[in-house]
């Protein structure tokens, strides 16, 4: 299951629908959002149709890294420039977090350029952010489908990660299925931060379908 920490869900999984600030100054942001996608949910919704490798039987993937996004208290920056192409060394660093060079370049172009870091440091930071998060035991090896409310998912993550509270994260869903968990971290990736806009963007209400791992 450890390898699940270092696989991205998909190139086209949407980032939060907040107001974007294109071309903002690199490094001018308030905190990071680490997005952990629920791979079986992605596969059921669109990954199977696109024949993604992560959706193959026996992959055993649960929560996987989608991205690390610089965020403002209101909205988020995107495509900050000037863009610097990742070196081969930087792309080697990306491989422990992201499954393809194309995805690595996409994450760097859209989000990494706003971090104020160089490409190698940005991909390293993405891995550090993932290493900071403990996946709750109930989601480590889901062999049968579950129905779980968004708040119970948040409470499970809070219980597994001291200092994390429900107002420091959001559960995203699509068509009644768990899509991902988005966790807010400070700029140093040392602790969690309150993020009201991200929290308000999360799913509310009834239970979500949590598909089993492949």
Q: How far is the C-alpha of 62 from the C-alpha of 160, rounded, in Å?
A: 16
- For the domain that residue 63 is a member of, what is the CATH number? 3.90.730.10
pLDDT per residue over 95-131, tens digit each? Answer: 888 766 777 888 899 999 999 999 999 999 999 999 9
Residue 52: give the domain boundaries: 2-210
Average pLDDT for residues 33-52, to the nearest whole number? 86
HSE on the CB side for 194, CA within 13 Å? 2
Helix axes 101-110, 119-131, angle to 10 degrees: 100
pLDDT per residue over 15-31, tens digit each? Answer: 444 556 676 789 999 99
Q: What is the pTM of this model?
A: 0.86
pLDDT of residue 42: 86
Q: How many domains does the chain have?
A: 1
Assign 178 a pLDDT band (cuts: 50, 70, 90): very high
Long-range contacts formed by 46-55: CB under 8 A, 24+ apart: 46/10, 46/12, 47/9, 47/10, 50/10, 52/10, 53/99, 54/7, 54/9, 54/99, 55/214
């Amino acid at each position: 299951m450890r390898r699940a920490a270092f696989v991205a869900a998909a190139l086209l999984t949407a980032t939060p629908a907040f107001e974007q600030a294109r071309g903002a100054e690199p490094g001018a942001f308030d905190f990071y959002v680490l997005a952990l996608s629920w791979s079986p949910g992605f596969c059921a919704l669109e990954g199977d149709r696109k024949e993604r490798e992560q959706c193959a039987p026996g992959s055993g993937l649960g929560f996987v890294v989608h991205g690390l996004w610089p965020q403002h208290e209101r909205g988020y920056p995107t495509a900050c420039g000037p863009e610097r192409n990742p070196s081969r060394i930087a792309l080697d660093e990306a491989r422990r977090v992201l499954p393809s060079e194309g995805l690595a370049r996409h994450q760097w172009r859209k989000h990494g350029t706003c971090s104020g870091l160089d490409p190698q440091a940005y991909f390293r930071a993405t891995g550090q952010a993932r290493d900071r998060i403990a996946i709750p035991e109930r989601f480590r090896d889901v062999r049968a489908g579950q129905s779980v409310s968004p708040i119970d998912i948040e409470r499970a993550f809070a219980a597994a990660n001291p200092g994390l509270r429900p107002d420091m994260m959001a559960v995203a869903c699509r068509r009644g299925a768990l899509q991902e968990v988005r966790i807010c971290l400070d700029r140093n990736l040392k602790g969690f931060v309150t993020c009201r806009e991200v929290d308000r963007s999360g799913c509310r209400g009834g239970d979500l379908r949590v598909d089993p791992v492949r």
